[in-house]
Amino acid sequence: MSPQNKPPTKLNGGKYETMKRLGAGCFGEVYRGVRTEDKREVAVKFESKSAKSAPQLEHEVEVLSVLRSGGSPQGVAECFYYGVEGTYNAMVMEILGKSLEDHVQSCKGKLTSKTTVLIAEQVLVRIEFLHSKGFVHRDIKPENFMFGVKEKVHHVYIIDFGLTKMYWDKTKEQHCTMKQKLSLTGTARYASINAHKGVEQSRRDDLEAIGHMFLYFLRGALPWSGLDAKTQEEKYRKICEKKEQTKLSDLCATFPKAFEEHLEYSRNLGFTERPDYTMLYNKIHNCREKDTKDHHFQWFEQKEPEGTLVPLIPRTQPPAQPDDKEKKQAKGCCCIQ
C-alpha cells in the first residue's frame, strides 16, 4: 500500500490516534489505537470508500447502535465514533482480545468438551440476543467471536455485522418472506444446508451454523473441510453434499449428546419458526462438569486470569423474540359467538 493510500493516523479531530496495524479482512483494515485524552486502548476499523464492500462499515455501525440501544449488553462491543476520514470510512470501537479461532490454534487445533460447553453457552446467548433485535448474523465463524480483555477476558463477544440482515419486518410486524435461488452468504464451512441451497437465511441458519462451529472446536476438523474442487461453485456443492451425507451420529460421536441434538433440532426448524433457545441452552448447560466456573477455559488451567473478573449475567430473563408479541395477542383475544 502506497503512503498516500494509508489510513490517517489521527481521527475525529485528533481525539483518537492509530498505533499498530492488527490485521485486514475483505472489508478493510483494523488498527490498535488510543483515545488521546486518557490513553484508553481502542480498535479502529478502516474501509476504503471506493471498496466493493462499502458501505459495509456504516451498516455495521447501524446494527451495533440497535443492539446497544437501551443498555450495555454483554458481549456486544461499544462503538465510540464513526465518520469519514479522508478516503476512508472509519469506526472506533472497544478493543477486544483473542478470537475463538486464535484459541483453537493455540490449543493445537481443537478444544476440550469442557471449554466448548462454556463457549457454546455464551455463543448461544449472543445469538439469541441478536435474534431478539430482529437480526440474523449470516457469517458465523470462529473469527467472528472474540474474548474481551482484562476483567472481561472470559466474556465472548459477537462481532462483524457486515452481512447481518433483518429477518423481521418491523413495519408489517411479521417475519420476512422466504426467497430462493440466492447465492451463498457467509462462510461455507459453517453455513447451513439451506443456505447452500440458496434459501433466504433466518434464525434456524445461525443456529445450525454455530452447531457446525461447535463440532469444529471438538473435532479439530469437519468432514467437509479441504475437499478438492476446481471452482468455488464446485467446492460449495461438494461441501453441501458432504453435510447432507454425514450422519449426525457419526459427526458427533464421543461428544456430549447435546451437540448432536442442537444440530438435529436446528436443521428441522421451519423458516419462520421461533427457536426454543431455552431448551437449547439448558441442554448445553447441563453438560457442564461439576464445579465449573464461567472462566474455566483450558488456557486458564495453568494460570488463572489476573484481577477481579466481571461476572457473566445469568440467563434468568431471556430476551423476547419479535414474534412473541403475536403469541401474546393470540392468547389474549376472545371470540364472541
Active site residues: 139
What does the buried/exposed string (b/e) look like for 254-272 if buried means 16 or more CB atoms within 10 Å of the residue's CB? ebbebbbbbbebbbebebb
**Cα separation, 312 vs 251, whole angstroms:** 31
Question: How buried is residue 232: exposed, middle or buried, by Cβ count under 10 Å (0-12/13-18/19+)?
Answer: exposed
DSSP structure class, residue 54: T
> Measured on CA atoms in the order 69, 71, 74, 78, is the torsion positive or negative?
positive
**The three cell numbers locating residue 60:** 455495521
How distant, in Å, are the alpha carbons of 3, 138, 167, 261 from that of 35? 23, 32, 36, 46
